[in-house]
Amino acid sequence: MEFTLAIFLVAFILLVALAFYYEHPKAEIPQEVDQRIKLYILHYVVNFAFGLGRIFEKLGICKEVYLIRTFLYGISPWKNDVKLFIKDLKFAKVKVRVYHPKAPSAGQRRGVLYLHGGVGQIGSIGMYERVCRFIARGSDSVVVCVGYRLAPEHPYPTQFWDCLTATVHFMTTAQDYGVDPTRIIICGDSSGGTLAAAVCQTLVSRTDLPKPRAQIMLYPFLQAVDFNLPSYQQNGSVPLLLRKRTLTLGMQYLNKDLSLIKDVLEGSHVPEDLKLKFSKWLSPDNIPMEFKIRGYKPSASASYSEELHALAKPVFETTFSPLLAEDAIVRQLPETFILTCEYDVVRDDGLLYKKRLEDNGVPVTWYHAEDGFHGVLFLIDYGYISFPCGMRAMDNVVNYIKGL
């Protein structure tokens, strides 16, 4: 018995060591980050998941992404929510989970469509159970979490089309769920923010549907043109989303060769004519100086590769990079809430979209978590694992929804 236990412990230690050998990016967490020691621990847990996934794939057990999904699924709440009716449904063949407040309402409620993050490969309805319950309870809204199909089983842009399909279905059947179809809010975090922005842009041309009441983007990824913006330079080693991992996940999502990463990070995929076109929207000059004081060095222009541009062409599509939409689309978007976190590589995506929206006359409510980091909202309502800055940010989201 003791010998068997010893063998098991040795095997476990070797497995952990191998996992960190395959995935051990260095983390640099500033003192100002909320509960930084806890974030360090989470960083190593995530690294372990990625490293273990890589080992399993090399051994032919399963694909890396499948192990990561299982590991990061999250712990579902132990108890049923006494304040909500929760039901799994399908909206035109797309899986959804509907959270409906039990308390009677004097009239039709707001509806919130939640598009989860995970770079189109990792997230799920179950992972966001606590987030959606929190929003439904706090805002007294009907929340619909969309379980869009994931890559690589369902290649990009399946995720966008599933989200659009579920959104259109909800808009046309809203009253069946006690929801006012003119008060539907489209919300998403991280790559779910990408999807929310892309869906709202697409709905601009749908005159047969009511206009969304608002869009909510929580630390969204919005462009794959410039990975040398101030936030990428300052926060490239701050968990939970590291600079190189951002592009690695993005390339896997698009089913592209990971050997492209280095040149894409340097910007070699962008031809001069597009650099000129996008500069008015993506220029670091559009980012307030207060966000450059922690250090920013303008990057040298990389040599252009026509071959790389052809391979990376999907990153210029607005379903992947909504920040590249034309002004004619942007000016028709609904009022917007944007959450940015100071210690987040995609912070400046949110800041740049905020400016674009405001320049085009779209009202924007902005909340900046000065001690926040990417992914902090996913951890709300987890007790000790939760971060105070995440709770404060989510309270602001809920209060915004209540005001619509």
Active-site residue flag, 180: no
Choose the catalytic residue: 189, 269, 374, 386. 374
Active-site residue flag, 88: no
Choose the catalytic residue: 162, 344, 348, 371. 344
Pairing label, strands 214-218, 179-189: parallel
How does pLDDT run across 83-93, given as a tens digit for each residue?
999 999 999 99
How does pLDDT run across 159-215, given as a tens digit for each residue?
999 999 999 999 999 999 999 999 999 999 999 999 999 999 999 999 999 999 999
Active-site residue flag, 43: no
Contact 101, 46 (CB under 8 A): no
Q: In Å, what is the CA distance from 265 to each residue of 262, 330, 339, 380?
A: 5, 27, 24, 32
Which helix (H) or strand (E) is 44 found in, with range? Answer: helix 36-58
Amino acid residing at 57: E
CA separation for the pair 186, 34 (Å, rounded): 28
Question: Quick one: pLDDT at residue 2?
Answer: 46
Question: Quick one: pLDDT at residue 24?
Answer: 57
3 state SS of 269 = coil
**In sequence order, what are the residues at sequence separation of 6 or more whose Cβ sits closer than 8 angstroms to the Cβ of residue 245?**
25
5-14, 133-142, 241-250, 312-321: range with lowest mean pLDDT: 5-14
Q: Mean pLDDT for the chain?
A: 91
pLDDT-above-90 percentage for the chain = 77
Mean pLDDT of 78-106: 94
Choose the catalytic residue: 190, 191, 231, 321. 190
Strand partners, 146: 96, 115
CA separation for the pair 151, 226 (Å, rounded): 24
- Please give, one letter per residue, the 3-state secondary structure of 80-137: CCCCEEEEEEEECCEEEEEEEECCCCCCCEEEEEEECCCCCCCCCCHHHHHHHHHHHH
pTM of the model: 0.93
Q: In Å, what is the CA distance from 78 to each residue of 71, 88, 266, 382?
A: 18, 18, 46, 11
What are the contacts of 314-318 at 24+ separation with CB within 8 A? Answer: 314/156, 314/254, 314/256, 315/224, 315/225, 315/250, 315/254, 315/264, 315/269, 316/224, 316/225, 316/274, 317/157, 318/198, 318/201
Place of tokens 């909510």: 216
The angle subtended at Cα 252 by Cα 21 and Cα 279, nearest 5°, is 110
DSSP alpha helix (H) spans, 188-239? 191-203, 230-235
